[in-house]
Copies of this chain bind each other. A is one copy, B any other.
């Protein structure tokens, strides 16, 4: 790995190389908990913000101005490329699909995604962010996991249990596989375009895979994710697979050829690493609710995550799920500082041979 000594900590950790401190970023770090984000949103609907490269870039950069985070992640929505595929979609505020997709005809009617034509504003946002970011801060591009997208497309709106999607897998497994293949291929094209525009790591968010038992996860969600991720391997950018509520799925995920597994807050990272085996870095996994603890308690909770992740190189600190809108930004500041300080002390101690 030429030049690896000078990799930013986030990219080094993705490749399980030693780092001067444990890198940290926060899922949904560009978002409603920041007053400056709410300020932008007071002038722009969520849907129009997504399609406006200047505003999307501004919002992406906001948390980086406040906190010494180790990575930026594009402000976007996992449903955006589906609009590019012809899905009639609104945000109320969760994504609502006007005509849920449950038939072969509806699956066939999905257009092929050509990112430069269908979602040029996403690629332009990436270029603007990249131009505005310090070279030492990598930018993460992302897409929704095919199964998670299927959940929204089949159910039509957010749901606690996504019952219609789960019964669709059981009642129409062949159609479900066809839809997942379509989505997997589109997300591969989408992420490749993001990398070409300047994203230096690519993340697939499988937010609802934890609704599946392992056999259905393997057959539907993981098979489709593998299809997406395999198609991206030649790019060379680190690949991150986030699987929410995946405590029972780690043995399945272990076989996936990616660099990093994103882990929700329910599974201790040391146990996850044992189950994943040595070939993967882990990203996570503080409970977003822990940011509501008193400062001293927050340090204890964060320290526990650092300790569990410290068994070997390759830990990127993050929350186990997106940050909540009612979080105090000062708690985020304390968390970022603490993670940097405590892990650099350890890195220093390690270098001194203790």
**A residues engaging B (CB < 8 A)?**
158, 160, 163, 166-167, 169-171, 173, 210, 212-216, 245, 247-248, 265-268, 271, 287, 289-294, 297, 301, 304, 320, 324, 326
Residues of B within 8 A of A268 (CB): 213-214, 248
Instruction: Indicate the member of A245, A289, A320 with the most B CB atoms within 10 Å.
Output: A289
Residues of B within 8 A of A173 (CB): 297
Contact A294 B248 (CB under 8 A): no
Residues of B within 8 A of A289 (CB): 163, 166-167, 169-170
Instruction: Indicate the member of A210, A212, A213, A301 with the most B CB atoms within 10 Å.
Output: A213
- Identify which of B169, B171, B212 contacts A294 (C-beta below 8 A): B171
A170 and B304 in contact (CB under 8 A), knowing A163-B324, A247-B247, A247-B248? Answer: no
Contact A216 B287 (CB under 8 A): yes
Residues of B within 8 A of A163 (CB): 289, 324, 326
Contact A267 B248 (CB under 8 A): yes
Residues of B within 8 A of A210 (CB): 245, 266
Q: Across the two chains, which residue of chain B brings its CB closest to A211? A: B266
Residues of B within 8 A of A267 (CB): 213, 248
- Counted per complex, copies of this chain come to 2
Bound: A215/B289 CA distance, A: 13
Contact A171 B292 (CB under 8 A): yes
Residues of B within 8 A of A166 (CB): 287, 289
Contact B213 A170 (CB under 8 A): no
| Closest chain B CB from A94 CB (angstroms) | 10
| Closest chain B CB from A100 CB (angstroms) | 15
- Identify which of B214, B266, B290 contacts A170 (C-beta below 8 A): B290
| Closest chain B CB from A33 CB (angstroms) | 12
| Closest chain B CB from A236 CB (angstroms) | 33
| Closest chain B CB from A170 CB (angstroms) | 4
Residues of B within 8 A of A324 (CB): 163, 167
Q: Across the two chains, which residue of chain B brings its CB closest to A290? A: B170
Residues of B within 8 A of A304 (CB): 215
Bound: A213/B321 CA distance, A: 12
| Closest chain B CB from A307 CB (angstroms) | 12
- Identify which of B213, B265, B287, B326 contacts A287 (C-beta below 8 A): B213
| Closest chain B CB from A19 CB (angstroms) | 25
Residues of B within 8 A of A290 (CB): 170
- Identify which of B215, B245, B291, B320 contacts A245 (C-beta below 8 A): B245
Q: Across the two chains, which residue of chain B brings its CB closest to A246? A: B247
27 interchain pairs, CB-CB under 8 A: A158-B160, A160-B160, A163-B289, A163-B324, A163-B326, A166-B287, A166-B289, A167-B289, A167-B324, A169-B289, A170-B289, A170-B290, A170-B293, A170-B297, A170-B301, A171-B292, A171-B293, A210-B266, A213-B265, A213-B267, A213-B268, A214-B266, A215-B304, A245-B266, A247-B247, A248-B267, A248-B271
Residues of B within 8 A of A293 (CB): 170-171
Residues of B within 8 A of A320 (CB): 213
Closest 9 CB pairs of A and B: A247-B247, A167-B292, A166-B289, A247-B248, A170-B293, A248-B266, A171-B292, A248-B267, A167-B289
